[in-house]
């Protein structure tokens, strides 16, 4: 089943994924079988909004994120990003435009480098700013993710989980993407720390016009953050719509089951 969530009035879609299918082989010989990870998924991300993608582990959420960010190239279907066909193998410029924030920020940060060195390397390699402006841009990135300037000369190991996640977001923002893919970006954090990252995502949407695909299994977080929501189950989209509508009037049985399990947390 495929659904396309509604847009805000006047918004177009920054991303259109159509009939995306991913299959994996499992086992050997007579026991070999095909596993369908994505079963003809259609997904649209409205520009300048945060779209929640929810479902339990194994539903296909992370596979979809990997297809979108070119970490998984074995798929069929089409993707259009900013009006341009998005191939499995992409130019550096196209890769820059879609950045991912992972669940474990420590794994995406080099422990031997300070935050300043990490950001400066990205800015220099991709020629985002002139060399003389690198430090200035590093300070701006700290401000955008609401960290003090002194954090630039800190190593990841001496930072809290929430601080490291903010650095991971700054690292993504350094490449000036149009779309941010947050794959379980708050699930490993304490509830109080989650709230700060959730608020930061909302601020980035409002201040930068950033589009975000927010992948999570925690519907309470999605409800507080996302304008629209898509529900995945076994590689299929089973429900999609505005967050208000899906939470108030769920149609699919799986969505109803998910909603019954939500802890009553408010941000």
Residue whose entry in the numeric block shows the structure tokens 């996302």: 226
Task: Report the pLDDT value the prediction gives residue 150, as an integer from 0 to 100.
Answer: 96
pLDDT beyond 60 at 266:
no
Annotated domain spans of the chain: 13-260
> Per-residue pLDDT averaged across 91-105, rounded?
88
Alpha carbon separation from 62 to 48, 71, 196 (Å, rounded): 22, 10, 23
Of 217, 227, 104, the C-alpha closest to 168 is 104
Residue 212, SS3 per DSSP: strand
> Averaged over 83-112, what is the pLDDT?
87
User: Has residue 250 got a pLDDT over 60?
Assistant: yes
pLDDT band at 11 (very low <50, low <70, confident <90, very high): low
Q: Is the pLDDT of residue 72 over 50?
A: yes
| Structure-block tokens of residue 197 | 């990252």
Mean pLDDT of the chain: 88
Question: What is the structure's pLDDT at 5?
Answer: 46
What's the pLDDT at 8? 44
Reported confidence tier of residue 4, pLDDT bands at 50, 70, 90:
very low
pLDDT class for 92, splitting at 50, 70, 90? confident
**For 103-120, what is each residue's pLDDT tens digit?**
887 788 899 999 999 999
| pLDDT in the model for residue 264 | 56
Q: For the chain, percent helix, then strand, then coil, each to nearest 5? A: 40, 25, 35
pLDDT band per the 50, 70, 90 thresholds, residue 171: very high
**What's the CA gap between 237 and 42, in Å, rounded?**
8
Cα distance between residue 231 and residue 3, in whole Å: 10
Arithmetic mean of pLDDT, 129-151: 96
Q: Does the structure show a pLDDT above 80 at 68?
A: yes
Confidence of residue 56 (pLDDT cuts 50, 70, 90): confident
- The pair of structure tokens assigned to 215 is 């992948």
Q: Is the pTM of this model over 0.85?
A: yes
Task: Dump pLDDT digits (tens) for 202-216.
Answer: 999 999 999 999 998
pLDDT at residue 2, rounded to an integer: 42
13-260 CATH: 3.40.50.300
């Amino acid at each position: 089943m495929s659904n396309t969530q509604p847009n805000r009035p006047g918004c177009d879609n920054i991303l259109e994924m159509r009939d995306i299918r991913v299959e994996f082989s499992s086992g050997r010989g007579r026991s070999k079988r095909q596993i369908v990870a994505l079963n003809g998924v259609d997904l649209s991300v409205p520009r300048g909004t945060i779209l929640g993608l929810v479902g339990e582990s194994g539903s296909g959420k992370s596979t979809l994120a990997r297809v979108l960010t070119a970490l998984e190239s074995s798929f069929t279907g089409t993707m259009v990003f900013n009006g341009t066909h998005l191939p499995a193998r992409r130019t550096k410029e196209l890769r820059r435009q879609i950045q991912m924030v992972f669940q474990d920020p420590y794994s995406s940060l080099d422990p031997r480098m300070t935050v300043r060195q990490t950001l400066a390397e990205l800015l220099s390699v991709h020629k985002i700013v002139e060399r003389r402006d690198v430090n200035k841009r590093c300070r701006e990135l700290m401000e955008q993710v609401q960290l003090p300037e002194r954090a630039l000369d800190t190593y990841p190991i001496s930072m809290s989980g929430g601080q490291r996640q903010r650095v991971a977001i700054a690292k993504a923002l350094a490449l000036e993407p149009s779309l941010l893919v947050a794959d379980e970006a708050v699930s490993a954090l304490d509830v109080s720390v989650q709230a700060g990252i959730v608020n930061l995502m909302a601020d980035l949407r409002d201040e930068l016009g950033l589009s975000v695909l927010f992948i999570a299994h925690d519907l309470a977080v999605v409800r507080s953050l996302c304008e629209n929501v898509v529900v995945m189950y076994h590689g299929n989209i089973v429900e999609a719509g505005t967050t208000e509508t899906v939470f108030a009037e769920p149609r699919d049985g799986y969505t109803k089951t998910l909603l019954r399990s939500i802890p009553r947390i408010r941000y």
